[in-house]
Structure 1
């Protein structure tokens, strides 16, 4: 079985001929803030390409290292301090922080979740039918730094409602979160789709409540870097995000292989005490909705992988201003073009996408 230690021993498909000079150089290991706090196959949209059978990173002089974080807030702190090179950008958390501290010079360079992957879940018999019913309720979140708090505020603000009487209760993940819902410690959970799926796997029955219309149309995941790193290491960042784009396409088109490749690179993440087939079925369930959120909507006018738009960032500012009750947010942030850039996107997309799709469909683990 391949591990990261074995990674340098092989040259994968789509890169053998041109990889030798790059492999002779010192790799630039890009450290990512992982706010999922665990490194499991939900990360295969990044990690699949680390396996030498695909080899999407090393031939171009880069590799990825995961650094687990407990929250988005901690990720921003570590990114600012230079302890990680890139990390998630959640507008509802990032924008108020940047408005408060202009020296926080982050720029979102790659949209990894072009669809909205947030969910509202309740017990099947709950009286909560719409997002408006969350007002004044006990809302379960993973922890007090979790994006679920901002998501709830955003959706309520969209409907002209306040979260002033909401109580946000940290219930963790998996079985503890399921117990909190089963035992009525919370009225609803607002989280990412993968977190809800993990709760369903431990036996808790859930009903999904629709997101608010405006919020449902925005993406839910960007990756950002400091502007200084963007200036200094553009080539490495293109290589990094092109590797992620290839891994995303591959894993979307062959999820079972993506899961297997993640385990090959990170064998310590393989589940203990049950068969691989059972574990793979569980992970396929966890990723059943997420894998679609990796891909752009068919009606998206910009089909480039990772691209952002000025319109969506203006929407992000508008929604964040409403949820944070800060009508001056847009003025404090200034030109919204500074919040994101597409300057890497054409270079990131300069690869044969159909070749990756064909590779995925024909790949045998």
Structure 2
């Protein structure tokens, strides 16, 4: 159940976010689709959800997209449930506890736009921490306690027999470059973060080493597109169209990442480092997304892009002792066939020729 405090918080963030949005070449499209993301500001971690605007994919589907940074996953869930955004990003670490309490609303996940596993732990060069086992007794930094890296890394430590509440200390150090600076200055012993976050730190020239991942990492923590169930049913074409735009954009970026970076910067030039040339700006985006783009396609043989595996949910639920009898309430694969009904090679050719 969403509390009044949560709703007021989300409403405030949402109101501030209304001023945000890309510079669109398709401002006269039939309707505007608002997508809420759990970020404090738009960045390239959601590049494959946004560049369809610059590439014409959204116009082909009859809409234009406005990206809204709502500040956190809870705010996105509230905005989606209230209908203040058309599409939101759903994350299991926030959603599954709600489902376990029997308080899940009417949101429905219909496309998985990033697959597991995207998190790592970094240390300063020369650190004595060489494995996750060495994290016992250490101070681990996270961007904030609402970020996905916090619950996911806790789960991994728990699977290794490390008590995440008593065996380690957690410190919120901020996102992006500030997180890297905290590691560099020794304010924390290690930094748990996700792929695009490490890319931003790397792009800033801050050195770090990734701790070797343990074997048999749980396939948990994917990220999903969601809408209200009744709207997905009543406006099926809209949600298929958005999923198709995201799938096309994902193939576009995979075919030529630099072209995807250019398209993103056309929409969001303010995300480029201050004073950078076009070449430097493109490089900064590529540094941020180089790890993430490998996760656009499902790691399961024969699976269609965007398709959802329920065992990701049941695995995470078991790790946290969340009693969930039926995960089917939260997702559907019913739109995936239509979403992927396009010429992939045509998209790849567009990427190769994009200027």
TM-score normalised by the chain length of structure 1: 0.84
Are positions 1:84 and 2:85 aligned together? Answer: yes
- Structure 2: distance between partners of 1:110 and 1:92: 17
Structure 1 residues 239 and 186 mapped into 2: Cα distance closer, same or farther (>3 Å)? same
Name the CA distance, whole Å, in 2 between partners of 1:83 and 1:133. Answer: 44
CA apart distance, 1:264 = 1.8
The C-alpha deviation readout for 1:215-247, integer Å capped at 9, x for no partner, is: 354463222223233223221100011011001
CA distance in 1, matches of 2:93, 2:131: 21
Displacement of 1:59? 2.4
Contact 1:242–1:348 (Cα < 8 Å) also in 2:
yes
- 2:335 aligned to which of 344, 359, 363: 344
1:353 maps to 2:334: no
1:59 lines up with 2:50 in the alignment: no
CA apart distance, 1:101: 4.8
Asked if the contact 2:220/2:313 (under 8 Å) is kept, the reply is: no
> Secondary structure in 2 aligned to 1:280?
helix
Quote the residue 2:11 is aligned against.
Answer: none
Segment drifting more, 237-246 vs 130-139? 130-139
Aligned residues: 333
Consecutive unaligned residues in structure 2, runs of 5 or more:
1-21
Aligned partner of 1:132 in structure 2 is: 133
CA distance 1:175–1:266, shift in 2 (3 Å): closer
Q: Is the 8 A contact 1:71 1:143 kept in 2?
A: no
In structure 2, the residue corresponding to 1:112 is in which secondary structure? strand
Secondary structure of the corresponding residue to residue 51 of structure 2? helix
Matched, 1:6 2:9: no
Is the partner of 1:213 in helix, strand or coil? Answer: coil
C-alpha contact 1:115 1:218 (8 A) present in aligned 2: yes
In 1, Cα distance between equivalents of 2:255 and 2:125: 32
Q: State how 1:262-273 maps to structure 2 within 5 Å.
A: 262-273=264-275
CA shift, 1:308, in A, is: 1.1
Q: 1:337 to 1:64 in 2, by over 3 A?
A: same
The aligned counterpart of 2:6 is none
**2:118 corresponding residue in structure 1:** 117
SS at match of 2:274: coil
Taking the TM superposition and a 5 Å limit, the aligned residue runs for 1:198-209 are 198-209=200-211
Q: CA RMSD in A?
A: 2.1
| Equivalent position of 1:33 in the other structure | 36
Give the CA deviation at 1:108: 1.8
Equivalent residues of 1:48, 1:251 under 8 A apart: no
Indicate conservation of the 8 Å contact 2:123/2:189, yes or no: yes
Give 3-state SS (helix, strand or coil) of 1:160's partner: coil
Alpha-carbon shift at residue 103 of structure 1 (Å): 4.0
Aligned 8 A contact 1:32 1:85 in 2: yes
Paired residue secondary structure (1:178): helix
Q: Which runs of 4 or more aligned residues in structure 1 lie more than 6 Å from their structure 2 counterparts after TM superposition? A: none
Query: If the length of structure 2 is used for normalisation, what is the TM-score?
Result: 0.86
Residues 33, 67 of structure 1: 8 Å contact kept:
yes
1:74 Cα deviation from its structure 2 partner = 2.2
Per the alignment, residue 151 of structure 1 pairs with 152
User: Contact between 2:142 and 2:193, CA under 8 Å: does it hold in 1?
Assistant: yes
SS of equivalent to 2:57: coil
- DSSP-derived class of the 2:26 partner: helix
Distance 1:269 1:171, change over 3 A: same
